[in-house]
Amino acid sequence: MSVNKLALIRYKTIDECLKNRFRKWSLDDIIERVANTLYEYEGITSGVSKRTIQADIQLMRSDKLGYNAPIVVTDKKFYGYSDPAYSITKVPINAGDVDKMKEIVGLLKQFNGFNYFDEMSEVITKLENNLNKSAHPDQNFIQFEGNKQLRGLEHLNPLYQAILRKKALLIEYQSFKAQQPSRNVYYPYLLKEYRNRWFLLVHARGGKALITMALDRIVDFQELTKEAYIEYKGIDFDRYFDDLLGVTKSEKDRAQKVVLKINKLNAPYVLTKPLHHSQQLLSQDEDGAVIRIDVVLNFELEREILGFGECMKVLSPRNLQSRIKKRLESAAGQYDNALQSQVIYG
């Protein structure tokens, strides 16, 4: 049984309501949320009937679409999932939908190779490979970098839609340093990927600075339909991360000239795969190469340099050179009692 576009929008909206832990959902609340979503996505102003939503809920409860959603009613009024971890987005798609997706991928492949589709090439390949694996689990002809234990990817599309539609969010977030999660209202502006990990750039209500949140530290969130979205003025978010490696910076941070020397063994690697788009080759001889990058001094830059170990040396700036030297000395100090450790731990 295939699902049309409007029905799928309704099911996904109902699903987002029922898995939301922040509030209780009456049938009228669900109807209002679905109507708002249909208006935002499709411009439908006629709303949605009570009978349609009731039929949708019954269909989601059944196995006709393979959902078997554990929808329960509490206090004879409020709808929710009996299993808090359940979501229809975690249910495998059926054969009919797979066939439709194959048709779409086939159409996209026809445009592959055009200049304006260059960035789509990897996405199309991933889609085709995933669809092939759904039909033939024992066949996998391409492997992409990824972390199967990474959390938070389920937030990616809802957060993208919130940015697209300029929606304020109530986010429950727990940083690595916090013992308990905290809740606050945020205005989202940009999603950023760095080394297969996703981050959200936001501004907190009442706050002064931009904040970068890791998606895998977001416990939960919901759109706030009655909270006005506040634009952040004076920042070009399309270029906000251009002057750094990673995602760690403040608005006051400015790029500095970083000069690095790479030994001859690793020079070809760095020259063919630049550390940053600003990279310039200053000199090259039989000992290696000297390059310059213009980036913000941050944790990710230090980690990148330390990853090369003895193969890379910081020539400037002096404060970065001193910092890297101290960290290397500290790392080497952990091996001063290596023999004793071997005796203790065998």
pTM over 0.75: no
Of 78, 105, 135, which one is at a domain's C-terminal end?
A: 135
Instruction: Evaluate whether residue 298 is within a structural domain.
Output: yes
SS3 216: helix
pLDDT at 65 over 90: no
Asked if residue 19 and residue 58 are part of one domain, the reply reads yes
What single-letter amino acid sits at 305?
A: I
Tell me which residue range forms the domain holding 312.
256-333
pLDDT at 179 over 90: no
pLDDT at 113: 64
Per-residue pLDDT band at 1 (split at 50, 70, 90) = very low
Q: Encode pLDDT of 186-216 as tens digits.
A: 999 999 999 888 999 999 999 989 999 999 9
**Is the separation of the CB atoms in 6 and 26 below 8 Å?**
no
Query: Measuring CA to CA, which residue among 140, 143, 4 is closest to residue 65?
Result: 4
Asked if residue 125 and residue 193 are part of one domain, the reply reads no
Q: Encode pLDDT of 75-119 as tens digits.
A: 999 999 999 889 998 877 667 777 777 787 777 777 666 666 666
Burial of 140 (0-12, 13-18, 19+ CB in 10 A): exposed
Burial of 202 (0-12, 13-18, 19+ CB in 10 A): buried
**What is the C-alpha separation between 56 and 46, in angstroms, rounded?**
18
Asked if residue 108 and residue 62 are part of one domain, the reply reads no
Number of domain units in the chain? 4
Instruction: Evaluate whether residue 346 is within a structural domain.
Output: no
Mean pLDDT of the chain: 87
pLDDT at 178: 84
pLDDT at 66 over 50: yes
pLDDT at 125: 79
